[in-house]
Amino acid sequence: MELYPLKVFLTVATERSFSRAGEKLLRTQPAISIAIQRLESDLKEKLIDRSGRELLLTDAGRVVLEYARRFQNLESDLENALRELKDNYAGRLVIGANESTSLYLIQHIEQYRRLFPKVKVQVRRAESSKIPSQLLDGELELGVISYDPADEHLSSQVIYTDRLAFVVSPEHRFAHRDEISIAELDMETFIAHNVLSPYRDVVIREFQRHKVPLNMDVEMPTVETIRRLVQHNEGVAFLPRMCVEQEIDQGLLHEIRVKELSAERKIRLVYPARRALSHAAKAFLEVVKKASSVEPEPVQEIA
């Protein structure tokens, strides 16, 4: 059943006249009659009693009128919803990020929510290596990763420049030191993240280059569990500094500079280059670009 004849019927029933309905809809009276006949044919019900001088609805006509009004309200709701989406006042935004990179979204989400409080923001936990394909498949609108995706179908915006921090417990034998050599780490037990990343490869490569054993005897699934084990002096770790900034400030962890190893993390907001973004995603990207334009100059990235 087409919606136009239903709209015509609603107007006829409201105006109680074919001619007045035609004037309101800018249609001729014969066109109005044809639309009503088509609706009655589709529904296989007589909707209007034409036997008397006054236009009366049949029982079926009164039922259809109720639903026609519902359709009209739904149409109005749809128009309002689309208008709100266009104006970034409503809708949903789905962003993919892993445990550590989601931290870099906090300040941007806070600002975005202040500007567009009706948009529902969903940060979906995703493996960093899978985010590019999920973006291209349409499962995500935006993604946050800590590496350059090197894909012409994706665009990216650097939203934060972080670095790997070498951290130990305040009870560790190196806790009084501010700087050490990589050669001094040959006997240490490293608590490693069991998720593969370019920065894990950087650490492994630097230890191999300096011919220093890297003892990753413990691997954990989350940054939180690594942080807790290091605090309890069960080992040492390289972690994104933002993930341990609070613990360092509170004295729960001690950061030490490793002279031969300085690895930068460029955190990127990634999105499809050739697919149109939703109004909500475009607005979020603008918020990120404005914030990123005032960030300090990044440190030199490791080769």
Local structure of 298: helix, strand or coil: coil
**What mean pLDDT, rounded, does the chain reach?**
87
Structure confidence at residue 189 (pLDDT): 96
* DSSP-derived pairing of the beta strands 189-193 and 215-220: parallel
pTM, to two decimals: 0.63
Rounded average pLDDT over 178-182: 96
Q: What pLDDT digit, counting tens, does each position of 51-103 carry?
A: 777 888 999 999 999 888 888 888 877 876 777 677 766 778 899 998 888 88
DSSP-derived secondary structure letter, 154: E
Given the structure tokens 């939703």, which residue do they identify? 278
* DSSP-derived pairing of the beta strands 56-57 and 48-49: antiparallel
Q: Is the pLDDT at 255 greater than 70, yes or no? A: yes
Structure confidence at residue 299 (pLDDT): 33
Q: What pLDDT digit, counting tens, does each position of 206-237 carry?
A: 999 999 999 998 999 889 999 999 999 999 99
Q: What pLDDT digit, counting tens, does each position of 120-170 carry?
A: 899 999 888 899 999 988 889 999 998 888 899 999 999 888 899 999 999
Domains in the chain: ranges and CATH: 3-84 (1.10.10.10), 92-160+267-292 (3.40.190.10), 161-264 (3.40.190.290)
Q: Is the pLDDT at 191 greater than 80, yes or no? A: yes
Local structure of 193: helix, strand or coil: strand
